[in-house]
Structure 1
Amino acid sequence: MSSPVLSARGLCKTYRLGTHVVPALQGVDLDVLPGEMLALTGPSGSGKSTILNLAGLIDRADQGEIRLGGQDVSRLDERAATLLRREQLGFIFQGFNLVPVMTVADNVDYPLFLAGLPDAQRRQRVAEALDSVGLAEHAAHRPDALSGGQRQRVAIARALVKRPRLVIADEPTASLDSHTADQVLALMRERCRAEGAACLIATHDARVVHRCDRVIALQDGRIVAHTPEDFQ
């Protein structure tokens, strides 16, 4: 069996809202394997976003351990966490988060620019990434000239262009119609498997759940594993 790309053990996280202490996570364990799509489901406030934030090194757990590719990343300082995000993590968002004044190619290139790759290597990687999502002919377009599905394809290309270990997706189909969502999910699966990247997805969307390899349902910061067929 392959070693997990992401391994979390005993994650606990609380937030303070005035005088109230809100337990967001209460001892969460999970693994995500190379090429696997794992869905996190559950009502608002169940802990999905907190897990994404911890896995993405945007926030830090109060207790517990997170390993990425076998490396303990639980207590990295901000500089080290930023470098690791740039090198090993890709992000796909509900609202696409593309820069409107940049072309499609420049949006996909931006993570490579931040990583300091040489120009020629960046151009080749961007061209390959856009071709892989069927948008090579739109490289010079701005995001507002594209449909929602096309913009999400750009976001997938941007997330995978640096060949990350882990892709973190927050409600990636929420802005899409059913047909487009199905196409985007199929593309995410194909590209993540082709790149050997694990994919961790927070979603309320049954279409996503039925496309994933495993599902973890959260309630009050605790988890229960389900198969896609169990999702209602």
Structure 2
Amino acid sequence: MTRLHRDASAPVVAVRGVRKTYRLGAHTVPALQGVDLAVLAGEMVALTGPSGSGKSTLLNLCGLIDVPDAGEVRLQGQPVHLLDETSRTLLRRDGLGFVFQSFNLVPVMTVTDNVDYPLFLAGVPAAERRRRVAEALERVGLAEHAAHRPDALSGGQRQRVAIARALIKRPALVIADEPTASLDSHTADQVLDLMRERCHAEGAAFVIATHDDRLTRRCDRIVRLLDGEITGAEQPAQEPQRSAA
């Protein structure tokens, strides 16, 4: 199975009773201990907690980068935790988007080519790719930078390119790992507003690992982890009204 048959009634991603341990030398480290989580379409969920709490492991399971030792992972109602590595890779390529702290743009490619690349890999016809890329860059406010390379852009602009690239495939799920950690406050505010707008407009589910309070205040739900367990889930506090100046 390399493509999902969408079940509109199911969460976009759901993990049930997942456990994961890692070996460090002679030691076994429990990263996740029976975690349950479900994320709906159009929902933006922040995973928070100290380093070593299990955020990255849970993110990797949701993003099909890793598999649990026990429990199950479902995407749009379909079990995916038992798929082989090739099938998981194809599902990641065709159905998931990723946004990283370090942007992960290809430096020798233009903005257009970076955003186009996932569509090229998926075999989308050239004319449709051009149309979709132009629309995506317009939505993130970078149409005038289409011919630039990443090193000509600011950090916030690079993250906007990364968001456009993540959403170009119209994925059901976007995985984001500390997407604002390298941005200043003003730039982070702009990027976060864009992520929230696109999450709701595209109907994608966002799962975001973060230490950034600016980000958690814009999410629909905050899930807190400690020592591999979920210790609580809550709605964020009301975002303070920012001055228009």
Judge same fold: TM > 0.5, yes or no.
yes
| Structure 2 portions without partners, runs of 5+ | 1-7, 239-245
8 A contact 1:2–1:34 mirrored in 2: no
Alignment of 1:23-172 (within 5 A): 23-172=30-179
- Distance in 1 separating the partners of 2:135 and 2:158: 17
Report deviation, 1:39: 0.2
In structure 1, what is the equivalent of residue 223 of structure 2?
A: 216
Q: What amino acid maps onto 1:169 in structure 2?
A: A
Structure holding more helix per residue: 1
SS in 2 for 1:83: helix
Q: What amino acid maps onto 1:160 in structure 2?
A: L
SS in 2 for 1:31: strand
8 A contact 1:42–1:218 mirrored in 2: yes
Report deviation, 1:2: 5.2
- Distance in 2 separating the partners of 1:196 and 1:146: 28
Q: Does 1:21 align with 2:28?
A: yes
- Give CA-to-partner distance per residue, 1:182-225, whole Å, 9 cap, x none: 11111001112111100000000000110000000100000021
> How many residues matched?
230
8 A contact 1:34–1:198 mirrored in 2: yes
- Distance in 2 separating the partners of 1:125 and 1:52: 28
- Give CA-to-partner distance per residue, 1:34-80, whole Å, 9 cap, x none: 11100000001000000111111111100011110111001111111
Instruction: State TM-score, norm by structure 2.
Output: 0.92
- Distance in 1 separating the partners of 2:177 and 2:197: 18
Report deviation, 1:128: 0.6
8 A contact 1:169–1:202 mirrored in 2: yes
8 A contact 1:2–1:33 mirrored in 2: no
SS in 2 for 1:200: strand
Instruction: State TM-score, norm by structure 1.
Output: 0.97
- Give CA-to-partner distance per residue, 1:10-52, whole Å, 9 cap, x none: 0100000011000000000001111110000000100000011
Alignment equivalent of 2:214, drawn from 207, 218, 221: 207
8 A contact 1:92–1:169 mirrored in 2: yes
- Distance in 2 separating the partners of 1:2 and 1:63: 25
- Distance in 2 separating the partners of 1:125 and 1:48: 33
SS in 1 for 2:217: helix
- Distance in 2 separating the partners of 1:211 and 1:162: 24
Percentage of identical aligned residues: 76
Q: What amino acid maps onto 1:32 in structure 2?
A: V
Q: What amino acid maps onto 2:45 in structure 1?
A: L
In structure 1, what is the equivalent of residue 234 of structure 2?
A: 226
Report deviation, 1:133: 0.1
- Alignment RMSD: 1.2
Distance 1:36 1:2, change over 3 A: farther
